[in-house]
Amino acid sequence: MQSRWNDADAQAYLDRYAPRWGEALALRVYSSRLIGADDALVLHGGGNTSVKAPVTTLLGDTVEALYIKGSGWDLASIEPQGFPAVDCAHMRRVVRLEQLTDEAMVNEQRTHMFDAASPNPSIETLLHAFFPARFVDHTHADAILALTNHPEGEAYVRQALGDGLCIVPYVKPGFDLARLAAACFDAQPDCVAMVLMQHGLFTWGETAREAYEHHIALVSKAEAFLAAHPPTPSVPADAARVAAAHQRAGQVAPLLRRALSADGNRWILGHRATPALLGQVDDPRLDAWVAAGPLTPDHVIRTKHLGCVVRLPDGDDDAALQDAVDAAIGAYRAAYDAYFDAHAAGGAYRKLDTTPRVLLVPGVGVFGVGDSPKAARICLDITEHTLAVKEGCEGLGAFEGLPTTDLFEVEYWSLEQAKLGKGTKKPLAGRVAVVTGGAGAIGVGVAKQLRAAGACVVLADRDEAALARAAKVLGAGADVRTVVMDVTIAASVAEAFQAVAAAYGGVDIVVPNAGVALVDAIVDLDDDAFRRVMEVNATGTFLTVREAGRQLVRQGTGGDIVLVSTKNVFGPGARFGAYSASKAAAHQLCKVAALELAPAGVRVNMVNPDAVFDTDGVPSGLWAAVGPDRARSKGLDPSELQEHYRQRNLLKTTISGDDVGRAVVFFASGQTPTTGASLPVDGGVADAFPR
């Protein structure tokens, strides 16, 4: 591991932050980000850093403040305001108390902040306070965890890192750990660093650079020690195995999601199948690695205390695959029940769900499970590091994690339990939606509203460049993806749905929206042009609904298909025969789908918009193509067309893609037990009233 310190970069942070926040905090932000940028040191909000600096109170007193990473902040992106300042002298007194509940500790930290609007200080504030040095760095470095999770861990640490270390036995984070660490430090005040067994490393210094580079030097020593004791490596997968794993993932993910959803929740899956991970999940040591638990108890909040190994039979028989999946996840749930019952006796604990957060599938890879793509990705990142560390440290002997008693204590920590039930879930949280014609005005509006309601959204369209522009309008995020799909080609539709399953685990909401239009009188219609409109609007809807139905039935968790139909189904216009007929065919098809898919809990409904010209600057491709002709047919200048349609409806309103999206969300969120219904989104066009 190499130091990433760069004087020019450090000066840039001073120039940016020091005028308002002071030099010490500016450099604290810089070195914290250096730590956060290295996932071999910390993952997803792990670790914490601090600096001690004077503050002047409202009364003019100069007081030593401890600026410490705030709860919810990530070292990789932390800003100065992510370091709440607390009264350092008071924290040093608190850590000397004989006992203190976690809730009381948090109260002391909150009531001795210098800015009440700041985030909660880290749970390890007291640990940072007693060190006399100005800058303190704490990480969960992979190499340190590899050394400390062994029966002979303390000896390995001393051999690897040298003399002058203060080694603290494992104690749950919080007041008890801070008090024990302070006592160990008091007994060895000349120590050069502190190692917390099964937890991580502390270093310190009078400057940000000194604390950081000492940290890097010690982690490098640990890495070198491990390299001198190499394990028997697993065999990485070749390119063919990786490709086969990704293909298999799209096939089995809906079956996994079906079994996971048996707890009544909807889960998002993420999949990873690197050559190294595939080698590890296919390794005979996999079960032992999983049984050894997490690298550090901090991870148990994200991944639970164990992962779930799912071994699949060969072949493509869904029944056999589902049986294997159900058996593995069912066994995991039973084991979690036993784990809870064994450790919760006599305690006032609120039981968490029994759903595994990590699925390890030989031949397929690893699936992360979460209530969002981010949560699933965090599980994958932690698992990738966990397997690498467990394999990498076997040259010293098998990894030995903490007993389940300690893991349960962290998983059911009162400070974590207090967070349960806070916040309101969005109505479509955990849902995955596919919107065809996703690059156009209605597609963007629908996707925007589905996303705002909590769904992960996949924009599908045959125009890759337009998809990229639409995704840019929606904004970056793990909950937005694009897939190139031609709705007129069955193989393209099937491949797109498989890609969605591999990305998120399955699909819950499908919005057939792709469409084209043609303006011409029936007697003048060209045969091929008519067939093209029918192919996209009718056959494209058929292929999309057919594949959606197959996927939703296979997944077994219900779902919604919401067709973007049109006002023209009920109120057709002259010279718009090809469009009106093809959309009427699609509309009728979805009514039949409502009849056929209801036994599987799949609702099929229709929304009938009229005259959506653009959404957030994304134009309607349909109106760009037919607008001039429609204007001429009505004796209008093209610039007058949108106002003409606004004046035509009863409410004299402009219809946007967002309006269509809100109607889709109404159906998809199950606000009424409705299927086979048509909902006008047209401002009120009397000729098009459903009847």
155 & 285 share domain: no
Q: Measured between alpha carbons, how far apart are the two ends of the chain, in Å?
A: 71
Calpha distance 435→124 (Å, rounded) = 45
68 & 202 share domain: yes
Tell me, letter by letter, the H, E, C secondary structure of 128-182.
HHHCCCCEEEEECCHHHHHHHCCCCHHHHHHHHHCCCEEEECCCCCCHHHHHHHH
Last residue of a domain, one of 417, 446, 462: 417
pLDDT at residue 421 in the model: 52
Judge whether residue 423 has pLDDT over 80. Answer: no
Calpha distance 364→360 (Å, rounded) = 8
The structural domain count of the chain equals 3
Of the candidates 364, 369, 307, 295, which has an alpha carbon nearest to the alpha carbon of residue 335? 307
pLDDT at residue 630 in the model: 84
Between 13-17, 218-222, 472-476, 664-668, the lowest mean confidence (pLDDT) is in 472-476
- Asked whether residue 532 is domain-assigned, the answer is yes
179 & 40 share domain: yes
373 & 450 share domain: no
User: Which tens digits make up the pLDDT trace of 476-525?
Assistant: 899 999 999 999 999 999 999 999 999 999 999 999 999 999 999 999 99
* Of residues 160 and 422, more confidently modeled: 160
Calpha distance 258→558 (Å, rounded) = 10
Calpha distance 112→86 (Å, rounded) = 6
**In a 10 Å sphere around its CB, with 0-12 CB exposed, 13-18 middle and 19+ buried, how is residue 349 labelled?**
middle
- Asked whether residue 399 is domain-assigned, the answer is yes
> CATH number for the domain including 161?
3.40.225.10
pTM reported for the whole predicted model = 0.94
CA separation, residue 355 to residues 135, 332, 507 (Å): 40, 8, 19
- Identify the sign of the CA torsion 685, 686, 687, 691: positive
Q: Which amino acid is at 271?
A: H
Residue with tokens 């005259």: 611
- Asked whether residue 631 is domain-assigned, the answer is no
Q: How confident is the model at residue 4 (pLDDT cuts 50, 70, 90)?
A: very high
Rg (CA), the chain: 30
- Asked whether residue 305 is domain-assigned, the answer is yes
Percentage of the chain lying above the pLDDT 70 cut: 99
Residue with tokens 């009505």: 634
Of the candidates 529, 568, 564, which has an alpha carbon nearest to the alpha carbon of residue 441? 564
- Asked whether residue 427 is domain-assigned, the answer is no
455 & 528 share domain: yes
- Mean pLDDT, residues 105-127: 95
- Asked whether residue 634 is domain-assigned, the answer is no
Domain extent for 77: 7-227
Calpha distance 362→574 (Å, rounded) = 60
Residue numbers annotated as active site: 579
Please name the residues in contact with 116: beta carbons below 8 A apart, sequence gap of 6 or more: none
- Asked whether residue 649 is domain-assigned, the answer is no
Between 381-385, 598-602, 617-621, the lowest mean confidence (pLDDT) is in 617-621
408 & 447 share domain: no
CA separation, residue 405 to residues 28, 291, 339, 656 (Å): 36, 14, 9, 56
* Of residues 599 and 620, more confidently modeled: 599
Last residue of a domain, one of 203, 227, 251: 227
Calpha distance 174→349 (Å, rounded) = 19
175 & 283 share domain: no
246 & 335 share domain: yes
> CATH number for the domain including 437?
3.40.50.720
194 & 325 share domain: no
> CATH number for the domain including 278?
3.40.225
259 & 220 share domain: no
Of the candidates 84, 76, 105, which has an alpha carbon nearest to the alpha carbon of residue 93? 105
- Mean pLDDT, residues 143-159: 97
158 & 180 share domain: yes
User: Which tens digits make up the pLDDT trace of 212-265?
Assistant: 999 999 999 999 999 999 999 999 999 999 999 999 999 999 999 999 999 899
Judge whether residue 337 has pLDDT over 80. Answer: yes
User: Which tens digits make up the pLDDT trace of 64-91?
Assistant: 999 999 988 999 999 999 999 999 999 9
- Mean pLDDT, residues 155-165: 96
Q: How confident is the model at residue 343 (pLDDT cuts 50, 70, 90)?
A: very high
Of the candidates 237, 223, 231, which has an alpha carbon nearest to the alpha carbon of residue 280? 237
- Asked whether residue 233 is domain-assigned, the answer is no
**What is residue 368's DSSP assignment?**
E
Q: What is the chain's mean pLDDT, rounded?
A: 96
Q: How confident is the model at residue 418 (pLDDT cuts 50, 70, 90)?
A: low
Calpha distance 310→324 (Å, rounded) = 7
**What is residue 122's DSSP assignment?**
P
Q: How confident is the model at residue 634 (pLDDT cuts 50, 70, 90)?
A: confident
461 & 600 share domain: yes
Last residue of a domain, one of 417, 444, 462: 417
For residue 368, give both structure tokens. Answer: 């992360």
